[in-house]
Chain A
Amino acid sequence: MIPSDLSPVHALPSGLCEDPTGEAAALISRMGQGDGTALREIHAMWSPVFLGIATRMLGEPKEASKALKSAFIRIWQRSSGYDPHQSPPFVWAFTILRETCIARLGKQRRPAGNPDLSRPPDLSEDSRVMPLDDWRRLRAALDSLSPEERACLETAVFLGYAHTHASRVPDSKSLTVKACLRRALDKIRNQLSRYEL
């Protein structure tokens, strides 16, 4: 039986998506000073993964391409105010992309593209996106989730519940989306904490 009352999501262990070499932070700093070549380098480094993310968030390649361009324009415009102490470069840029996608979804008044969870992604481990160790420990943590929890979490990450009133997990009579997400996040936290220890 699925418990209905779950503990709240606790603070997650930090350390994911760090920029150990400082390469990305240096590029953003250069962008903040108006260096166009730094933008080219950042674009070459992150645009493929960002386009993959935007495509899953928005569901349409053309929309995703437009969102990617808008996101990079915002990244350029906000680069002078970037504070590496607040969040790592990739996370900072990801939040801008996500914000752009949320806005596009809201403007079009249509639900997010339904992420195709049946197709496993390429197991590319690009160290310029995330340190290699992070790729592995995150995948191990995700593997600890039940299929239902994982699907729920991935749908949420790819904005499948944005601008909607989803209350029940599909194929589940009693589990709400929020309860499922709480449980998934709690498990992830515990798994990532194990790696830290």
Chain B
Amino acid sequence: MNSDPYDSAAWRAFGMLDADECAIFDETMRGDPALRKLSHEMDRLAAAIAASNVSPIRPSEDQLEKLQNGLKLNPARRTSIWIAASGWAAAAALAIVWLVSLSRNTDRSASAALPEAPAAAVEPATASTLPRGTKIATKRLTQEITVLRENLERFQNRDRTLFTAVPGVALPVVMTMNPPGVPADDSPLPSMLGDAARWIAVANDSSEPDSGAMAVYDAARDSGTLIVNYLPLPESGQFYNLWVTTSSADHPIYVGSLPESGEDGTVSFDFSLGSTMILPSGFTLTLDPPGAPAAPSETSIVLQGPPPPSL
């Protein structure tokens, strides 16, 4: 990375730093307000130049809908599926009722056609008109059912498209975090089941459970979730802070503070590392007083992972 902070801020804004240089720059920036301000100013300039040098392009009509569906913000669509499904079900029910009544009428007309039946003189007229009306109604219902079925299939196919796996996306990193000094469980079952085993054990254990956490991070999307389990509520003024360690950085990089959840059970927090080019080698949770958190120390570390293997 360039030693001149002004240059570095510009190269960072133009995507000209590699992953390691980005991580170092971002870490330096967190502790240097002047550099942070400079970086923000460079972002302003880049945004303004970019905006003034493009012709706006209107996104496709369904862009917003896809976005809302991706964020599960589109209840209307879900409702429409239910309407389609319920409409189809109602039509099917009507068809069954109609066919049952048709069957009864056919039986009645058949019995009316028997020579010994006393009312045979009046029945043939009814028997001759019913099939024609029924035929038309059945045809109409069949058409409606076909249309409704097509609509339902279209909605189902659209859902399938939404949930198609993205090729080339890396599997998420899953790491458990234990209190310092607590070794990893070395029984074969957890290694076979993965981290799920430990959580199942915690869920089944009626005694006071140990604090623990699990970090799940998808580097391809820069999207992570930290699930903490029975973390004691911090004392007034204190905050839990999350740090990430990478193989390229010498010391942990600050990710952010956990918002106060007010719960002491299992709570999850979403986080991102600010770049898709960071591959974590571990996570650390510290308990710090208010203000800028210092680097993790023996006294501040509450949980860290992955824990060292047991001896």
Instruction: List the interface of chain A (C-beta within 8 A of B).
Output: 8-14, 16-17, 36, 39-40, 43-44, 47-49, 51-53, 55-56, 61, 65, 68-70, 72-74, 76-78, 81, 86-88, 90-91, 94-95, 98-99, 102-103, 105-107, 121-122, 124, 126, 129-130, 134-135, 138-139, 142, 153-154, 156-159, 161-163, 178, 181-182, 185, 188
Q: Which of B43, B48, B53 contacts A87 (CB 8 A)?
A: B43
Instruction: Flag if B7 contacts A182 (CB, 8 Å).
Output: yes
Q: Which residues does chain A contribute within 8 Å of B15, judged by CB atoms?
A: 98, 102, 105, 159, 161-163
Instruction: List the interface of chain B (C-beta within 8 A of A).
Output: 4, 6-7, 9-11, 13-16, 37-38, 40-60, 63-64, 66-68, 70-71, 73, 168, 220-223, 256, 270, 272, 274-277
C-alpha spacing A177/B47, complex, angstroms:
20
Q: Other CB < 8 Å A-B pairs besides A48-B58, A52-B56, 8 of them?
A: A9-B10, A16-B47, A68-B59, A68-B63, A94-B43, A157-B46, A159-B15, A162-B16
Q: Which residues does chain B contribute within 8 Å of A40, judged by CB atoms?
A: 64, 68
C-alpha spacing A14/B42, complex, angstroms:
9
| A-B CB contact pairs (8 Å), 11 listed | A12-B44, A16-B45, A44-B64, A52-B54, A53-B50, A56-B54, A68-B63, A91-B43, A94-B43, A134-B48, A161-B16
Q: Which residues does chain B contribute within 8 Å of A86, judged by CB atoms?
A: 40
Question: Which residue of B73, B220, B223, B274 has the most chain A CB atoms within 10 A of its CB atom?
Answer: B73
Instruction: Flag if A43 contacts B67 (CB, 8 Å).
Output: yes
Q: Which residue of B lies closest to A129 (CB)?
A: B51
C-alpha spacing A154/B70, complex, angstroms:
33
B16 → chain A, closest Cβ, in Å?
Answer: 5
C-alpha spacing A184/B19, complex, angstroms:
26
Q: Which of A55, A98, A142 contacts B57 (CB 8 A)?
A: A55
B63 → chain A, closest Cβ, in Å?
Answer: 7
Q: Which residues does chain B contribute within 8 Å of A78, judged by CB atoms?
A: 272
CB-based closest 7 A-B pairs: A162-B15, A52-B54, A48-B56, A94-B47, A103-B276, A156-B14, A36-B73
Q: Which residues does chain A contribute within 8 Å of B73, judged by CB atoms?
A: 36, 39
Instruction: Flag if A87 contacts B14 (CB, 8 Å).
Output: no
Q: Which residues does chain A contribute within 8 Å of B44, judged by CB atoms?
A: 12, 14, 16-17, 87-88, 91
Instruction: Tell whether A11 pairs with B38 under 8 Å between CB atoms, given A17-B44, A36-B73, A68-B59.
Output: yes
Instruction: Flag if A51 contacts B48 (CB, 8 Å).
Output: no
C-alpha spacing A150/B271, complex, angstroms:
38
Q: Which residues does chain A contribute within 8 Å of B50, judged by CB atoms?
A: 53, 56, 94, 157-158
Instruction: Flag if A124 contacts B55 (CB, 8 Å).
Output: yes
Instruction: Flag if A51 contacts B49 (CB, 8 Å).
Output: no
Instruction: Flag if A124 contacts B41 (CB, 8 Å).
Output: no
Q: Which residues does chain A contribute within 8 Å of B52, judged by CB atoms?
A: 121, 130, 135, 138-139, 142
Instruction: Flag if A12 contacts B56 (CB, 8 Å).
Output: no
Q: Which of B14, B48, B67 contacts A73 (CB 8 A)?
A: B67
Q: Which residue of B lies closest to A51 (CB)?
A: B57
Q: Which residues does chain A contribute within 8 Å of B43, judged by CB atoms?
A: 87, 91, 94-95
Instruction: Flag if A181 contacts B6 (CB, 8 Å).
Output: no
C-alpha spacing A73/B64, complex, angstroms:
11
C-alpha spacing A51/B51, complex, angstroms:
10
